[in-house]
A and B are shown apart, each in its own frame.
Chain A
């Protein structure tokens, strides 16, 4: 009976937009025949809109009744006056329906394999972490998951390692360091599937993976990402509280030890570009720093952001050109030419400080100063029409075209060992 009611309610909810907010289900225990009669009379009051899930039959059997919100006061008064015992079985019918709807949706969209996974949608953190585990399980010869640390709120910092042999130099790619840039995490998911699909099929990628490991951190700022789903779609920073301030979070792309504290970052915790109390103060950043240092052989490092359609190389904190500027500039040109070849998406390229703005304490300035020559930052689609809230139907085209640029960078890295 309950199932039928829920089904009906959902049907009505979908097509009639009816709400059961405030409605309750009462379980009444009549103690004698007189009370049964009273309850039968109550059931005949059509204006109350009562729906008996269990009719009044016998004094030993409970009577369950769905009472609409507008009748609650009257019904409870009636029961109280006649000293009929009852308790509240369901506090709010709408809440229950909402929970059930959520469960159903979750169950419906839970993919059984990475071939089932919907790449053309945005997903929440749990779905993405499940995806990673599935990808590893399906491709255990090629992919493993490394946990490089914990976020401030104790979420695992997961990195997928694509490897075909031991002691290889590595290529690092991260997405989602700024949580509101949703097309980046979504692209990261697509990249990971692309790698396992193309290994053994695409000669260029196969050759790369036979010589280099690829490390991919899809959700680089999981606390921020969870917050964009639960509270504020525009959240950028980490979620670590700042002592002495009511403002939360540090900009993880101003927290690196490269020109830390300089112009192009903020000293106020209440700003989006707050650099943090000290370099590498954020666990999300420290984890990558420790990983890169202990690995010792990362040869290319790409950090992916959105929006504005740019491919950028160091530096952001100083106008002194990078030592390898000419090569980085030419490689960027090649990469975005590849990118543009797919859907004619136009990218700008150049050093951070000249092209987008001065920014100190940035990721790729640090990695470059560590000796990782091929350090790049992407700003993916679009140029402002949708900005951070890029429609889901652009996820795959964005990922596809960006992949071409990544391949250009990775191929050049492989062909130019140092």
Chain B
């Protein structure tokens, strides 16, 4: 059901493409103290491209979930290309957001967070963030955001016109020994895909420091067995 030309901004074709742009934004600008959510798509259009594949042009707003209940909206525009290839290859994104560089207020918090956890004794480990009731402790908030940023690498890579990914929960976080002055974190994240309603589990190893930002070093899809029957008692 590919739409071409101007798209209804509130409907799913535009929203899926904007979600891809959002994942891209978070991989490039996300941190323990900054992670963006989609606020609204203002304008969208799509066209087939010569090489086969579809290119979306988007005008949308995002908010930084780290800045209180609803921070100021940031206006962005993006081109999202879903290539047409035999085997899946991730979308290509070009993104421009206004005033992104001016957001520097988090530098202090990032350094404090870094100093606190870079010590060799540090061995953070936790499960279920948020818990079943939506609770996230103060201490876990930056890890939650980091997980979302790291998960965005996977969500971006796995996206197509038939997916719409969100991170549903962090199943676990386990700090690994620091390497090259990077915080090393092993996450298991649960991704939620809207169209299929599936919960998809990924284990990943990410590094972070205020200077180098988030990098994802390893990813591993993990089968979930929620559909299996309980073993007989």
Contacts and interface: CB of A to CB of B under 8 A. Distances in A.
Interface in B1-32: 1, 8, 10-12
Given A235-B226, A389-B169, A308 B194 contact: yes
B199 interface: yes
Interface stretch (B48-56, B127-135, B214-222): B127-135
A6 interface: no
Contacts of B195: 357
B133 A392 contact: yes
Nearest to A230: B230
Contacts of A390: 134
A361 interface: no
What does DSSP make chain A's interface, helix, strand, loop or mixed? Answer: loop
Interface in A191-240: 228-229, 231-236
Contacts of A348: 10-11
27 contacts: A233-B169, A234-B169, A234-B226, A241-B229, A246-B227, A248-B227, A266-B196, A269-B227, A270-B227, A272-B198, A346-B40, A350-B10, A350-B11, A355-B10, A384-B37, A384-B166, A387-B168, A387-B169, A389-B130, A389-B131, A389-B168, A390-B134, A391-B130, A391-B133, A392-B133, A392-B134, A394-B134
A386 interface: yes
Interface of A: 121-122, 228-229, 231-236, 241, 246-249, 251, 266, 269-273, 308, 319, 346, 348-350, 354-358, 383-392, 394
A386 B197 CA distance: 16
Given A247-B227, A358-B1, A233 B196 contact: no
A234 B167 CA distance: 12
Contacts of A387: 166, 168-169, 192
Contacts of B196: 266, 271-273
B64 to A, nearest CB: 11
B12 A357 contact: yes
A355 B8 CA distance: 9
A350 B9 CA distance: 12
A241 to B, nearest CB: 6
Contacts of A349: 10
Given A234-B226, A272-B196, A273-B197, A388 B168 contact: yes
Query: Across chains A and B, which 3 residue pairs bring their CB atoms closest together, nearest first?
Result: A391-B134, A247-B227, A272-B197
A335 to B, nearest CB: 15
A358 B162 CA distance: 11
A357 B193 CA distance: 12
Contact of B65 (A246, A270, A385): A385
Nearest to B193: A272
A273 to B, nearest CB: 6
A386 B168 CA distance: 7
A183 to B, nearest CB: 9
A355 B38 CA distance: 16
Contact of B37 (A122, A272, A383): A383
A254 to B, nearest CB: 10
Contacts of B10: 348-350, 355
Contact of B228 (A122, A247, A354, A394): A247
Given A122-B132, A355-B11, A392-B134, 20 more contacts: A231-B230, A233-B132, A241-B229, A246-B227, A247-B227, A248-B229, A272-B197, A272-B198, A272-B199, A319-B1, A346-B40, A350-B10, A350-B11, A355-B10, A355-B12, A383-B38, A389-B131, A389-B133, A389-B168, A390-B134
Contacts of B183: none
Nearest to B230: A231
A357 B227 contact: no
B150 interface: no
Contacts of B134: 386, 389-392, 394
Interface in B24-78: 37-38, 40, 65
A384 B229 CA distance: 29
Contact of A236 (B40, B133, B197): B197
A249 B199 CA distance: 15
B228 A248 contact: yes
Contacts of A234: 168-169, 190, 199, 226
A313 to B, nearest CB: 14
B193 to A, nearest CB: 9
A105 B84 CA distance: 57
Contacts of B226: 232, 234-235
B119 to A, nearest CB: 23
Contacts of B227: 246-249, 269-270
B7 to A, nearest CB: 10
A308 B38 CA distance: 11
Contact of B229 (A246, A273, A350): A246
Contacts of A392: 133-134
Contacts of B190: 234
A383 to B, nearest CB: 7
Interface centre among B135, B197, B199, B229, by most A CB within 10 Å?
B197
Contacts of A319: 1
A208 B226 CA distance: 43
Contacts of A228: 132
Contacts of A346: 40
Contacts of A122: 132-133
A388 B197 CA distance: 12
A350 B196 CA distance: 20
B51 to A, nearest CB: 27
Given A235-B226, A384-B37, A354 B168 contact: no
A241 B11 CA distance: 35
